[in-house]
Structure 1
Amino acid sequence: MTGAQTLAIGAHGRDGGDMPIEHYAALGDGRSVALLAADGAIDWWCLPGMADMPAFGALLAGEPGGGCLTVAPSGPFSVIRRYVPDSNVVEHVYETAGGRLRATFALNGGIAGRLPWSELAIRLDAIEGEVPMRVELRPALRVGRATSWREDTPSGPVLHLDGLMLALRSTFATRPARDDDAGVSATVTVRDGERHLVAVIATSHAPLVLPPIADIDRRIDRTIAAWREWLAARSLPGPWRDAVARSALALKLLLYAPTGAIAAAATNGLPERIGGDRNYDYRYAWVRDAALSINALLRIGAYEETQAAFAWLAQTVARHGEIRTMYGLEGDLAPEQTELDLPGWRGSRPVLHGNRARSQLQLGVYGDLLNTASLLVEAGHVMDLGTRRLLAELTDRCADLWMSPDSGLWELAEQQHYTYSKMACWAAMDRAVRLAELGQIDPGRKARWSRVRDAIAAWVERHGWSEARQSYVIHPGSDRLDASILLAIRMDYPSHDRMRATCRAIDAELSAGPLLYRYSDAAQEEGTFVACAFWLVQGYALLGERDTARRRLATVLDATGHNLGLLSEEMAPDGPTMLGNIPQALSHLALIGAAHALGADPAPAP
């Protein structure tokens, strides 16, 4: 099985522990994302949308209170897991003492796109022998807000949870999990040549439609075909095609189809260091991540998603009258950060909901948005009049604010004059000038923007460069290095020689094998930051050091590609342990950017 991973699961499963992050695959339907563990448990599924509370939350809350759906052999087994090629549908091949069985997991779509309900389907096909399977559906406790209760209906048991209704549909009989309202369970032995189906149908504050089992089964094949049709229309660079394809599919999972917003990740609370307190909620749309995702989608020719995401971003900024660091997926303000009373993954607490970055000043967002608008126009697209006015207003605001300290791209508690923030402001001015010259912004303030652009560049060269380090540093008065500065290369910041020197300095100091830390001394706080390794590859490629870029990309892909190509925010420096939220948009879009920078360059010889 191409791109597969083989694992052994003992008689006691996880033996009370949490499944490693690198043993989760992601399913999605354009509205929600479910995480499937290698042992057949859906441990994370927020309903009705990916930023809502989890219906299955064992990822952070454990069992029994966390809730999950388990479809797995009754005894010890090994599993070979993979994505069905060119799709976001996952296949497990279970091997037991008595036989082998293929389980296909899908969040189904409909004929015309998303279904009006959520439909998680699992097809069970015996390959040889017979395999006793167990099925158990136990919703979460909704973090103390509500508990589930069971209603026995003529169509079978229905579970109610805080406005949600969930029904377990199957080709075999089900029963209450216990003599209470905890859930529904079943057992079935699947024999050679037999097929069975299990599905969870869910709605929120709406009637629950229970479709025929045969229709659910057919939708699995239709869902696979839809993913493949979408991917076939994309432009994927040849030598890196498989890695870029998986990253494109991961980004598509994070695009919230009802609005066009792009979530930074599908989870919250997964730690940047095991047992640490940096356990953030990333189920919102950061302007930075959304803009970079739009750039990546544009590169692969995903024009429908590009238009939807940029339109949502521009309309949301206009609606609030100012640009914020982040927004909710419906276009509202992201919630204030609070702590959830949950045990956390491997005891990492507090588990955070909402995000403190909602109220931070991050000057880099101006450069992100203006650079994205410029890329769209240079690709032949046209801004509407409202967006042109908005971009001009944002450019003026950036010109007023660029001398202010901010929290930087890394959302640090200490406000400083971060070098990358100033470089991003330079890019905002430069792109506004370009857009004015192309007739896509009112040119009336072009002269001012040109002057501010030059003033910012002079400030960066005077205060952001360290002769002693032969590198740009994180902020004036510091000798610490900062990998976010690598992003200025894609914005074509003009000091190419100094940028080359900065790449070499960052490579030498921040590298942990093929991966990179975010900034100097970060190793004391967290794992390596996956996106930074791809930014360095992209930087080398854009600055003409293509042999170095090719070699490094090959080693980075080898270090990060073991979880079916799915990427988290961070990784442990000394092994395959994933850290932080998953799937992480910033990691996947950085991979696409690195591969695109190398284009059709051949991969290095082994």
Structure 2
Amino acid sequence: MRVPADFYSPIDDYALIGDCRSAALVSRNGSIDWLCFPRYDSPSVFAALLDVTGGGRFRVRPAGTFRSERQYLPGTNILETTFHCSGGTVVLRDLMPVSSEEEKRLALVPEREILREIEGLNGEVEVEVLYDPRPDYARMRPDLRARGAMGLWCEGGGSALVLRSELPLELAGDGRSARGVSRIRAGERRYLSLTYNEDAPAVIPLLGEVARNKVERSARWWREWVARCEYDGPYREAVIRSALALKLMAYAPSGAIVAAPTTSLPETLGGVRNWDYRYCWLRDASFTLRALFALGYDEEAEAFLSWMLHTTRLTWPELQVVYDVFGEANLAEEELPHLEGYARSRPVRIGNAAHDQLQLDVYGEVIDAAAMVARRRGRFDRDTIRMLDGLGHTVCRRWREPDEGIWEGRSGRFQHTHSKVLCWVALDRLIEMYEKGHRELSVELFRRNREAIRAEIEARGYNERLQSYTRTFEGDEMDASLLTLPLYGYIEAGHPRMRATVARIREKLIRDGLVYRYEARTDDGLPPGEGAFGICSFWAVECLAKTGEVEAAAAAFERLLAYASDVGLFAEEIDPGTGAALGNFPQAFTHIGLINAALTLAEYAPERARPAGERVPAEKGSEDRR
């Protein structure tokens, strides 16, 4: 059944909950429309996000007309949606319970759980529940079985989904879904728990006060994590929310951080630029570690580097672009034609063909990240240095080759200026480590090649006629990745060549303060059409601040904050015409960009700092979200 595209909720109508292993998107009307168990990249259980009629959902909302507003409980990733109805008000709290290792040792917990708490605040409200699982990207026909106090069971593929509910539910005649309507009065609390178990026997959690305690423990866990944050500079509330979002995308068992918890949310509505981002890209490494270290999250930063160094042993001394959270390198791309796609944007993809591309910039990202850790830790062990030295040798052997570049173009390989700069960064950081005591490194080889790379960039990556660095050697097109040159220390932001480059990027790529990745005429092998990129827009803020334009930088940063959702989340892209979120959501790279831009403002424009906790106003509320 085809439905109008406007039946889909706007992308930023969703909020994210999770437990640092998997995640779910919850709409403003109380519907969980995306959930993958047991990992971010596992097949979906609910996918109404990508097929509003056939994908499946788990919805809790008032049965009549309502107005909703929402927030995260302060300092947590627990979502609170308040529904205002003619007869009263109820609040829905959604979370994936988290707890300390000590608490886990004291009590059995299910492998994964979504907990939903409904509380009556005033009056009396009829609440309807729809439970409509469609496992395996809606390819599996569910067969729900009612087992009394043990709940509704859906088994298959060696795992079990179990829904326990304090609200009565009735199975549909075909056994594929369940519904119920109940009255919630002021002061009442009711719970629904959806659990996932692979190992027998399944752990079936208790509800009632036990569930309430889980809410309180989870809130305490998140607040204790936030309390570790050492940042007290400008826009602290936005920085904390970005850090919390980033934590939700960090896979706790390995330390990997996924680019986003979703797949195939389109870069333009109705378009084909729909990719699976539930994996870990090495290109995000150094910006991620910079953000984590600056906030005081050394443990997460070192875990991410440890994951990278362990994972890349599989392909050493070559690096792959992207891996899954356990380091699997084969992420074959596949289309799911039975799903109509978000707002009919096809195809829906799982896997990502970028894993087969050559992107030379990843060597600079990984080695720069290692250098950050070395500055804090002191020395690496001999095996780690051997690995890094091997990566340096690969850079020396391959830096002259064309590649697909940071944006993963599908039109062939080119001599990308940004990729060459990151090759320079890789060797520059290895030389730095040598000078700080790692004498095992092949420093003379690295010095010769570092100078050769710089000479090539300045001769071929800089266009004398345009007075600007360009996207490719001997080219004339602009690319937002050039904004990172001063961020990596390749050139001072105030250098005449960099100032001229920023000026040309303003002319060619910036609209209403938002930055596109590259010019519309750039052939990337795909049909045209995408939004402005969030991370690129934050790079522009950093460049402005570093050139001394601190007032303009702070103003640009505040304009960008206004594009966040009502709960402070950003997608990959923004439509400059409408302000709508585009692409996978929420996007780790954008939130990393926000954190780093705030750090740069704190360094260069401290007088612009907002008082800690002051919020940039954002529109809230939603009328009649039925």
| Same fold, TM-score > 0.5, yes or no | yes
Report matched runs for 1:67-82 at 5 Å.
67-82=56-71
SS at match of 1:489: coil
Shift of 1:604: 7.5
Structure 1 residue 243 corresponds to structure 2 residue 260: no
Question: Contact 1:268/1:353 (CA < 8 Å) preserved in 2?
Answer: yes
User: What amino acid maps onto 2:552 in structure 1?
Assistant: T
Report matched runs for 1:17-416 at 5 Å.
17-63=7-53, 65-112=54-101, 115-143=109-137, 145-154=139-148, 155-176=150-171, 178-213=172-207, 214-321=209-316, 322-341=318-337, 342-413=339-410, 414-416=412-414
The aligned counterpart of 2:427 is 429
Output the CA distance in 1 between the equivalents of 2:138 and 2:286.
Answer: 36
Output the CA distance in 1 between the equivalents of 2:439 and 2:328.
Answer: 27
Q: Which of 1 and 2 has higher RCO (CA within 8 Å, sep 6+)?
A: 2
SS at match of 1:92: strand
Output the CA distance in 2 between the equivalents of 1:577 and 1:339.
Answer: 26
Report matched runs for 1:515-530 at 5 Å.
515-521=514-520, 524-530=528-534
Question: Contact 2:6/2:343 (CA < 8 Å) preserved in 1?
Answer: no
User: What amino acid maps onto 2:514 in structure 1?
Assistant: L
Output the CA distance in 1 between the equivalents of 2:196 and 2:458.
Answer: 56
Output the CA distance in 2 between the equivalents of 1:206 and 1:440.
Answer: 50
Write out per-residue CA displacement over residues 131-153 of structure 1, whole angstroms, 9 at most, x where no aligned residue.
Answer: 10011211114246422112232
Report matched runs for 1:419-568 at 5 Å.
419-440=417-438, 442-443=440-441, 445-494=442-491, 496-521=495-520, 524-558=528-562, 560-568=563-571
Shift of 1:297: 1.1
Write out per-residue CA displacement over residues 54-86 of structure 1, whole angstroms, 9 at most, x where no aligned residue.
Answer: 0111111222x2111101101111101111111
Q: Equivalent pairs: percent with the same residue?
A: 35
Output the CA distance in 2 between the equivalents of 1:82 and 1:382.
Answer: 44
Question: Contact 1:285/1:327 (CA < 8 Å) preserved in 2?
Answer: yes
User: What amino acid maps onto 2:281 in structure 1?
Assistant: W
Report matched runs for 1:571-590 at 5 Å.
571-590=574-593
User: What amino acid maps onto 2:132 in structure 1?
Assistant: R
Q: Gapped runs of 5+ residues in structure 1?
A: 1-12
Question: Contact 2:47/2:138 (CA < 8 Å) preserved in 1?
Answer: no
Output the CA distance in 1 between the equivalents of 2:156 and 2:581.
Answer: 31
Question: Contact 2:43/2:135 (CA < 8 Å) preserved in 1?
Answer: no
Output the CA distance in 1 between the equivalents of 2:224 and 2:359.
Answer: 38
Shift of 1:490: 1.4
Question: Contact 1:270/1:279 (CA < 8 Å) preserved in 2?
Answer: yes
Q: Gapped runs of 5+ residues in structure 2?
A: 523-527, 611-615, 617-626
Shift of 1:503: 1.6
Question: Contact 2:233/2:599 (CA < 8 Å) preserved in 1?
Answer: no
Shift of 1:520: 1.2
Write out per-residue CA displacement over residues 128-183 of structure 1, whole angstroms, 9 at most, x where no aligned residue.
Answer: 1111001121111424642211223242321224433122222232221x112212
Write out per-residue CA displacement over residues 88-124 of structure 1, whole angstroms, 9 at most, x where no aligned residue.
Answer: 1111110111111111111111342775421111111
User: What amino acid maps onto 1:535 in structure 2?
Assistant: W
Write out per-residue CA displacement over residues 506-530 of structure 1, whole angstroms, 9 at most, x where no aligned residue.
Answer: 1232111121100111795211111
SS at match of 2:152: strand
Question: Contact 2:233/2:609 (CA < 8 Å) preserved in 1?
Answer: no
Shift of 1:603: 2.8
- For the structure 1 residues 304 and 441, does the alpha-carbon distance in structure 2 shift closer, same or farther, using more than 3 Å as the test? farther
User: What amino acid maps onto 1:516 in structure 2?
Assistant: V
Output the CA distance in 2 between the equivalents of 1:150 and 1:292.
Answer: 45
User: What amino acid maps onto 1:281 in structure 2?
Assistant: D
Output the CA distance in 2 between the equivalents of 1:479 and 1:122.
Answer: 54
- Deviates most, 382-391 or 396-405: 382-391
Question: Contact 1:237/1:599 (CA < 8 Å) preserved in 2?
Answer: no
Deviating beyond 4 angstroms after TM superposition, the runs of 4 or more aligned structure 1 residues are: 13-16, 113-116
Q: CA RMSD in A?
A: 2.0
Shift of 1:416: 0.4
SS at match of 1:270: coil
Output the CA distance in 2 between the equivalents of 1:509 and 1:239.
Answer: 30
TM-score by length of 1: 0.94
Output the CA distance in 2 between the equivalents of 1:134 and 1:295.
Answer: 45
- For the structure 1 residues 206 and 48, does the alpha-carbon distance in structure 2 shift closer, same or farther, using more than 3 Å as the test? farther
TM-score by length of 2: 0.91
Aligned residues: 590
Shift of 1:307: 1.4
Write out per-residue CA displacement over residues 520-544 of structure 1, whole angstroms, 9 at most, x where no aligned residue.
Answer: 1179521111110001111222344
Question: Contact 2:256/2:304 (CA < 8 Å) preserved in 1?
Answer: yes
SS at match of 1:271: coil
- Deviates most, 23-32 or 194-203: 194-203
Shift of 1:320: 2.8
Shift of 1:125: 1.3
Question: Contact 1:146/1:162 (CA < 8 Å) preserved in 2?
Answer: no
SS at match of 2:144: strand
- For the structure 1 residues 380 and 157, does the alpha-carbon distance in structure 2 shift closer, same or farther, using more than 3 Å as the test? closer
Shift of 1:15: 9.9
The aligned counterpart of 2:619 is none
Output the CA distance in 1 between the equivalents of 2:117 and 2:82.
Answer: 11
- Deviates most, 320-329 or 45-54: 320-329
SS at match of 2:234: helix
Output the CA distance in 1 between the equivalents of 2:561 and 2:273.
Answer: 26
The aligned counterpart of 1:603 is 608
Shift of 1:575: 2.0
SS at match of 2:277: coil
User: What amino acid maps onto 2:76 in structure 1?
Assistant: S
SS at match of 2:49: helix
SS at match of 2:219: helix
Question: Contact 2:45/2:138 (CA < 8 Å) preserved in 1?
Answer: no
